[in-house]
Amino acid sequence: MVLGNSWKSRHKHSCGPARRWVRPGSAALLWVLCATRLVCGAGTVVGDTNVVQKDAEFDVTYNDTVTSENQTIYAFNHTISRNKTEGVRVSVDVLQKKFESPILFVIRQKQAVMSFQVPLILRGLYQRKYPYKHVARTLCQPPTRAASETQYFFVDVSTLSGQGTNFLLRVSRVESFTLQTDKKFTFTASPSQPQFFKYVFPDGVDTVIVKVNSDMSFPCSVMSVQDIQCPVYDLDNNVAFIGMYQTMTKKGAITVQRKDFPSNSFYVVVVVKTEDEACGGPLRFYPLQPDELIDAGNRTKVLDVVVSPAIDSEKYVMGMLFCLGIFLSFYLLTLLVACIENKRMKRRETFQIPPDMSPAETGKTPASPYEYGSFADNGSTLSSEAITDSATSTDNNYGYMERSLDSVARSRQESLSSVEEDEYDTLDDIDSDKNIVRTKKYLCVSDLARKDKRILSKKYQIYFWNIATIAVFYALPVIQLVITYQTVVNVTGNQDICYYNFLCAHPLGALSAFNNILSNLGYVMLGFLFLLIVLKRDIVHKRALVRNDVNALECGIPKHFGLYYAMGTALMMEGLLSACYHVCPNYTNFQFDTSFMYMIAGLCMLKLYQKRHPDINASAYTAYACLAAVIFFSVLGVVFGKGNMAFWIVFSVIHILATLLLSTQLYYMGRWRLDTGVLRRIVYVIYTDCIRQCSGPMYIDRMVLLVMGNIVNWSLAAYGLIQRPNDFASYLLAIAICNLLLYFAFYIIMKLRSGERIKCLPLVCILFTAVVWGFALYFFFQGLSTWQKTPAESREHNRDCILLSFFDDHDIWHFLSSIAMFGSFLVLLTMDDDLDTVQRDKIYVF
């Protein structure tokens, strides 16, 4: 207990030379006692209590006894100066094991009063009580305006115990009470013996980092930074009252700015907690009796503290310029590549197509330069010429009509206003034969690109508009929430709320870790650059359609850019939401950092599938509904999934069922029904294809992909069920990434197996992206913090900055992953450019 009464050094009263305080309490009680029964002299008698004052010296141990009838006052004096702060520490030890009542110690200073009892009772969780017989406290040093001043303070010792209680008292000066810049100081602390030190900002230094380290993980401790004022809150039950504080095991670091401390100085307080539960340690047993005292054992901890200057404004400027320079260089590189490609295209048009002869006038269809060897292995396969002939000769069966360029041109000139939303997925002209077309053994892109291009274009544009709407409604409350988080951190000073890398967290304004936010700029800038690239391609394609370019009309993979726009928007939103997450990273808002990662993975898989299945790709509403379900499970996993076996069983069952349903949908190209007769049809297929006669799958390539996909997903489901990882959001993201990588690898292999080739630009993008992904994952797995553990345990993973003294490993992950995602998008955009002159009835579906 600390009282706010002010006392003069030598207080004179009407009783003569006896200048003594008889009992800790209020000033009014003192005068009442003096007026009633006061005998003045060397030993003062108040009531039945004998009060003795002794002049005492520093660094001398006083062995004395106190009873309810005998009280002692120890008077100390010391000289303080304005330019030097000297710490004073009072140490008390009670020698007896059993006693009726505790001893009360009251230290009266010029502008402060401190009191504590011995044994000191500190409480833990569930009202556990821990007694400490050895107590040591550092006195708060009030400032002085004089160049030198002698100040007095008194240590009053009293008890209500009738029996004599023996104690030891020692008052000493604290060495290195004022910390020096970049000089490490080692000390010990315990729950009943906290420590605090003073630091004064040197000239020219506006920000410092206070680092406290220990070789011992436990006992758990708290470091705090408090303003220079009395009292100093240095016990486990009050250290969180003012200032900034954080729990720690082996590492702790707090960045302190001069602007937050008007006196240009502050106290560094280190307190050892009574229990280790806050730092992830074991929890003690519940006491059998409510008032039972529990022996805390040895909870002394050796620590060292060092205060180092933080980076200056030049480092901030260098960091921002470096970040901008890296990503602006991609804009310049893209501009250079675009100029080279434009010159090459003009040169090709000049030399390949005579100005007086169009492709339609030649009467020839551009031949494909590729041989599809994979479909010519046996008698049952078809060559590219055979497929063309069969498509032409079976018009009545498949409803396939070769359209002249004039009819195509007329269809392009029809008003877009005639396209309604309910027309998007209709195939009225071929309803009678689409089941036949989609179940052919060997499908070509022309078989799955028969819908009106205007309808499909508007259908896929919905992806972009939907994700833009989702982004607005998702981002606004997120920004509001993280601003609230940051405000709470700044107001309360509780730095356990946010899981920063405290050894490399550079504040700017109200933000605690500006560098972690700035490094997300790459996602936004490269996402916007990707949108510009897609827009340029979209404009070029529309111009080709207007001039009835045969390659744009009937060749290559059908160009639908809506999903690309959605991917670019998702990349920009990933940067924005990742920045919001890093305003105050913790487990409750980790979904902000992962939600659009799920979006990106899902959109990439949809784009890969759309390339050769444009007519039967999922609609935007279905796709986003599925992604919403994924995010819903992510939230459930974060809230309920930790160690919950029931949740993992339910999730694994849903995961496996979803995998089987999706596999069936992909294998049969959507030509199946989920109704009451599905089980009967499954039994019939097993009987006819496996029991009555053993026949292989009709679509071998699709079956290989789906079998591999099921193996991967079943394995991931089993891993989750057995291991039950704490980080459910990352586990869910790993499922999405594994499926994306599997499908992408399958696509590349089948593309090469079908005789297609990869042009120089996409090949360079693939190699470059693979290398960047490798380095990015290396920095990602460095793990500078983790909200799967307590804040104190997370700080054990903190590391110093490694780039420009401004960015840490996770910032480099942001840089590299944004570049890698941009490169991955470019691969998806360009890897089928080799088919731009190949007719669609010669491009195979896989």
* Full residue range of the structural domain in which residue 190 is found: 181-310
CA distance 134 to 506: 40
Copy the structure tokens of residue 486: 């940051």
* Residue 224 shares a structural domain with residue 161: no
Q: How many CB atoms lie within 10 A of CB 444?
A: 21
CA distance 478 to 161: 60
- Assess whether pLDDT exceeds 60 at residue 806: yes
- Assess whether pLDDT exceeds 60 at residue 380: no
Residues ≥6 apart with Cβ < 8 Å to 334:
529, 532, 533
- Assess whether pLDDT exceeds 50 at residue 565: yes
* Residue 461 shares a structural domain with residue 578: yes
- Assess whether pLDDT exceeds 70 at residue 239: yes
- In 353-452, which residue ranges form alpha helices assigned H by DSSP? 359-362, 384-393, 395-398, 405-412, 434-438
The beta strands (E) that lie in 524-630 are given as: none
CA distance 104 to 106: 7
pLDDT over 90, % of the chain: 41
Q: How many domains does the chain have?
A: 3
Q: What are the CA-CA distances from residue 846 to residues 395, 496, 711, 752 (Å)?
A: 23, 52, 19, 12
* Residue 757 shares a structural domain with residue 829: yes
Whether the CB-CB separation of 651 and 637 falls below 8 Å is answered with yes
Alpha carbon 216 to its chain's center? 27
* Residue 610 shares a structural domain with residue 549: yes
| Residue pLDDT, tens place only, 429-445 | 444 455 555 556 677 88
Of 266, 295, 310, the position where a domain reaches its end is 310
Q: Do β-strands 165-174 and 301-309 pair in parallel, antiparallel, or remain unpaired?
A: unpaired
CA distance 839 to 846: 16
Residue 520 lies in a domain: yes
**How close are the terminal C-alpha atoms of the chain, in Å?**
78
| Residue pLDDT, tens place only, 270-308 | 999 998 888 988 876 666 566 778 888 889 999 999 999
| Residue pLDDT, tens place only, 454-509 | 888 888 899 999 999 999 999 999 999 999 999 999 999 999 999 999 999 999 98
Of 177, 207, 226, the position where a domain reaches its end is 177
Per DSSP, the three-state class of 114 is strand
Residue 815 lies in a domain: yes
Residue 794 lies in a domain: yes
Task: Tell me the pLDDT of the chain averaged across its residues.
Answer: 80
* Residue 165 shares a structural domain with residue 185: no
Q: Do β-strands 49-55 and 70-81 pair in parallel, antiparallel, or remain unpaired?
A: parallel
CATH code assigned at 122: 2.60.120.380
Q: What are the CA-CA distances from residue 370 to residues 63, 442, 522, 612, 750 (Å)?
A: 101, 17, 39, 17, 14
Q: What are the CA-CA distances from residue 554 to residues 411, 433, 545, 557, 816 (Å)?
A: 13, 22, 10, 9, 39
Overall average pLDDT of the 79-87 stretch: 76
Copy the structure tokens of residue 559: 């160009």
Q: What does the chain come to in residues? A: 846
Q: Which residues lie across from 73 on neighbouring strands?
A: 53, 156
pLDDT confidence of residue 316:
94
Residues ≥6 apart with Cβ < 8 Å to 663:
706, 709, 710
From 563, 597, 561, 558, select the one nearest 577 (Cα to Cα): 597
Pick 415 or 796 by higher pLDDT. 796
DSSP character at residue 548: T
How would residue 398 be classed by pLDDT, with cut points 50, 70 and 90? very low
* Residue 500 shares a structural domain with residue 583: yes
Whether the CB-CB separation of 601 and 736 falls below 8 Å is answered with yes
Q: Which long-range contacts (CB under 8 A, 24 or more apart) does 801-807 make?
A: 801/503, 801/504, 801/515, 804/315, 804/318, 804/319, 804/322, 805/311, 805/315, 806/311, 806/315, 806/316, 806/318, 806/319, 806/322, 806/504, 806/506, 806/515, 807/319, 807/504, 807/515, 807/519
Overall average pLDDT of the 630-659 stretch: 88
* Residue 172 shares a structural domain with residue 194: no
Q: Which residues lie across from 170 on neighbouring strands?
A: 61, 91
* Residue 509 shares a structural domain with residue 489: yes
pLDDT confidence of residue 413:
43
Element (H, E) at 818: helix 809-830
pLDDT confidence of residue 356:
42
Of 160, 177, 194, the position where a domain reaches its end is 177
Radius of gyration of the chain (CA): 39
* Residue 455 shares a structural domain with residue 581: yes
* Residue 106 shares a structural domain with residue 128: yes
Whether the CB-CB separation of 179 and 106 falls below 8 Å is answered with no
Q: What are the CA-CA distances from residue 770 to residues 522, 523, 741, 824 (Å)?
A: 18, 18, 11, 9
Residue 316 lies in a domain: no
* Residue 459 shares a structural domain with residue 593: yes
* Residue 190 shares a structural domain with residue 145: no
Highest mean pLDDT among 397-406, 664-673, 746-755: 746-755
Report field, pTM of the whole predicted structure over 0.95: no
Residue 641 lies in a domain: no
